[in-house]
Amino acid sequence: MRNALAIARKELGIYFSTPWAYVVFTAMLGISSFFFVNLLATFKEVQSLARMYGWARLPPEYAMFKNLTDGIVVQLWDVIAVITLFVAPFLSMRLFAEEKRNRTFELLMTAPVRPWEIVLGKYLGGVGVIWATLGLTIIFPITLSLFGSSESGTALEWSTVALGFCGLLLWGATCLGVGMFVSALTESQMLAAFLTFAVLLPWMLLRGLAQSAEEPWRSIANHLSFSSQLSTLSRGVLDLKALVFFASVILFSLLLTHRTVEAQRWA
Amino acid sequence: MTAMIEVTGLTKRYRDRVAVEDLTFSVPEGEILGFLGPNGAGKSTTMRILTGYLPATSGTVKVAGFDVFEDPYEVKRRIGYLPETPPLYPEMTVRGYLKFVASIKGVRRGQMATELERVAHATNVTEVMDRLIQNLSKGFRQRVGVAQALLGNPPVLILDEPTEGLDPTQRAEARQLIKGLAGQHTVILSTHILSEVTVTCERVLILNQGRMVAFDEIKKLAHALGQGDQTSLEDIFLKLTAAA
């Protein structure tokens, strides 16, 4: 465990001494601010419509704009989940590919470190930086709670917001796990990023892609799709099924990465 | 003297290409063995197998009595290894890098500072400790690579061309350093610079196209080839590697 932590510390150190982490932070904040401002504008518009005509006469899909939590934060979490899918491959791509290209993999593999310690250390380092990226987005609900107001007490329903945010962290950790496994397969960082993306995106869209499929395939695709599993979590529902689903994907990625690293000894 | 490194019938094949064939040798504790051969003879491959980085196709390697394949962890604890390309993280400072390597080699936190000081002094990198590795000259990078191998004071050192990229002064220093390791450390040293071997090693092993063509004391090799004591290692090397 000591070795795994040493490796995680090294990974974090390298992330923060290269421009990558900062580029990803900026991209995450920039893109999500854009959506945040848009959501705010829509929210205000719907609210003023509601004041004029009353909620009963507005279309039912506007109902979520009744409060800031459902109208903005939950929507924003969904958007950030999609942004995460795009930025995670850039954070995970270097984990193993760079070590192989740099020939430092030889150092790790000939040091008295067990393969699972390498995998765990790398994973923890990667999760650290993606959580830091996602952590930045907590400023949006904080801004809302400082400046927003609501008829019923606090501006935001913090339990919903926090659960949704934890769901987001779990989602980030999942993307990174898949990305780390892909990174262990290649020496090229660009290839690792591209392949990770090529795995994550169709997996995310699996529900839509399988719409026209026959049963039971459609239900299976529905269950396996990232988007269906995420939809309950971002709404702040403590859905045990989704938690187990994401935890399994992470565990499976770690096991596969371990096998890949271990295979070096046999190749 | 007990053998610290024991290699028996070591063969490495990549599909149809044979990299190392039926290599058998042993190195007693405290000896420095010179590992010679033209480029592509299989030196680096052999070293990678000894350190547990690559698996052998057949044959066994034992370090301090532990089989590399069965007990990789015990073997890795006892080996300091400088690969052909020094395994450096360009974004780290020399100090940060050495600290990281020391911690994965199990150097305790209390001894960390002394240990860093010791290897930095031995390899003469004290002045660049706080510089980023990417900004170092080739000679410094190479020496940081050697420093990394010395961390934790492992009983066995496997050094793949440790003097590569050094200028003549630095090379002389490196030679002194390696000579000083004899006795307490068992060293396998590969190099292209034959004069270096004559100074630092008692015995040499010459590989050519994956096969061992000589494994003896330098003096005896000269005699065996039917020449006098004046024969340089260079002559021996050329003779043995040209034949095949």
Residues of A in contact with B103 (CB under 8 A): 2-3, 6
Using the predicted structure, report yes or no on whether residue A217 has a pLDDT greater than 80.
Answer: yes
If pLDDT is split at 50, 70 and 90, which confidence band does A233 have?
confident
Question: In sequence order, what are the residues at sequence separation of 6 or more whose Cβ sits closer than 8 angstroms to the Cβ of residue A1?
Answer: A117
Quote the CA–CA distance of B107 and B151 in Å, as a whole number: 8
* A112·B90 Cβ contact <8 A: no
* A10·B91 Cβ contact <8 A: no
Strand order in the sheet with B17-28: B17-28, B3-14, B58-63, B66-67
- pTM for the predicted model, two decimal places: 0.91
- Asked if the C-beta of B96 comes within 8 angstroms of chain A's C-beta atoms, the answer is yes
* B55·A102 Cβ contact <8 A: no
pLDDT tens figures, B116-157: 999 999 999 999 999 999 999 999 999 999 999 999 999 999
Beta bridge partners of B80: B157
Selected residue with higher pLDDT from A220 and B1: A220
- The helix/strand/coil state of B216 is strand
B-chain residue closest to A104, CA distance:
B87
Cβ neighbour number for residue A230 with a 10 Å cutoff:
25
Residues of A in contact with B85 (CB under 8 A): 103
Of the candidates B89, B98, B214, the one whose C-alpha atom is nearest the C-alpha of residue B149 is B98
pLDDT at A123: 97
- The helix/strand/coil state of B215 is strand
DSSP letter assigned to residue A51: H
If pLDDT is split at 50, 70 and 90, which confidence band does B227 have?
low
Cβ neighbour number for residue B118 with a 10 Å cutoff:
15
Residue A103 is nearest to which of B69, B79, B83, comparing CB atoms? B83
Beta bridge partners of B215: B205
Chain A stretch 100-139, residues whose beta carbon is closer than 8 A to a beta carbon of chain B: 102-114
- The helix/strand/coil state of B156 is strand
Shortest Cα–Cα distance, B93 to chain A (Å): 10
pLDDT tens figures, A234-243: 888 888 999 9
Residue B81 is nearest to which of A9, A110, A113, comparing CB atoms? A110
Residues of A in contact with B73 (CB under 8 A): 112, 114
Residue A267 is nearest to which of B55, B91, B103, comparing CB atoms? B55
pLDDT tens figures, B36-56: 988 888 999 999 999 999 999
* A14·B53 Cβ contact <8 A: no
- Asked if the C-beta of A29 comes within 8 angstroms of chain B's C-beta atoms, the answer is no
Taking CA A66 as the corner, what is the angle to CA A65 and CA A68, rounded to the nearest 5 degrees?
Answer: 70
Chain A stretch 188-217, residues whose beta carbon is closer than 8 A to a beta carbon of chain B: none
Q: How far is CA B192 from CA A259, B38, B160, B182, B203, in A?
A: 37, 8, 10, 20, 15
Burial group, residue B46, by CB count within 10 angstroms (0-12, 13-18, 19+): buried
Mean pLDDT of A103-112: 94
pLDDT at B229: 59
Chain B stretch 152-181, residues whose beta carbon is closer than 8 A to a beta carbon of chain A: none
Of the candidates A137, A146, A135, A131, the one whose C-alpha atom is nearest the C-alpha of residue A68 is A146
Reported as half-sphere exposure (CB side, CA atoms, 13 A), residue A15 has a value of 28
A115-135 and A74-92 are packed helices; what angle lies between their axes, rounded to 10 degrees? 140
* A121 close to A261: Cβ distance less than 8 angstroms: no
Residues of A in contact with B69 (CB under 8 A): 265
* A107·B55 Cβ contact <8 A: no
DSSP letter assigned to residue A57: G
pLDDT tens figures, A164-204: 999 999 999 999 999 999 999 999 999 999 999 999 999 99
Taking CA B85 as the corner, what is the angle to CA B57 and CA B178, rounded to the nearest 5 degrees?
Answer: 95
pLDDT at A267: 65
- Asked if the C-beta of A263 comes within 8 angstroms of chain B's C-beta atoms, the answer is no
A189-204 and A158-185 are packed helices; what angle lies between their axes, rounded to 10 degrees? 130
A-chain residue closest to B74, CA distance:
A112
Quote the CA–CA distance of B145 and B151 in Å, as a whole number: 10
pLDDT at A146: 86
Lowest mean pLDDT among A262-266, B51-55, B210-214: A262-266
Place of tokens 């969904």: A78
Of the candidates B67, B39, B69, the one whose C-alpha atom is nearest the C-alpha of residue B209 is B39
Residues of B in contact with A7 (CB under 8 A): 104
B-chain residue closest to A105, CA distance:
B87
A vs B: CB pairs below 8 A: 72
Question: In sequence order, what are the residues at sequence separation of 6 or more whose Cβ sits closer than 8 angstroms to the Cβ of residue B234?
Answer: B194
B-chain residue closest to A1, CA distance:
B104
Q: Which regions of chain A does DSSP assign to beta strands (E)?
A: none
ipTM for this model: 0.90
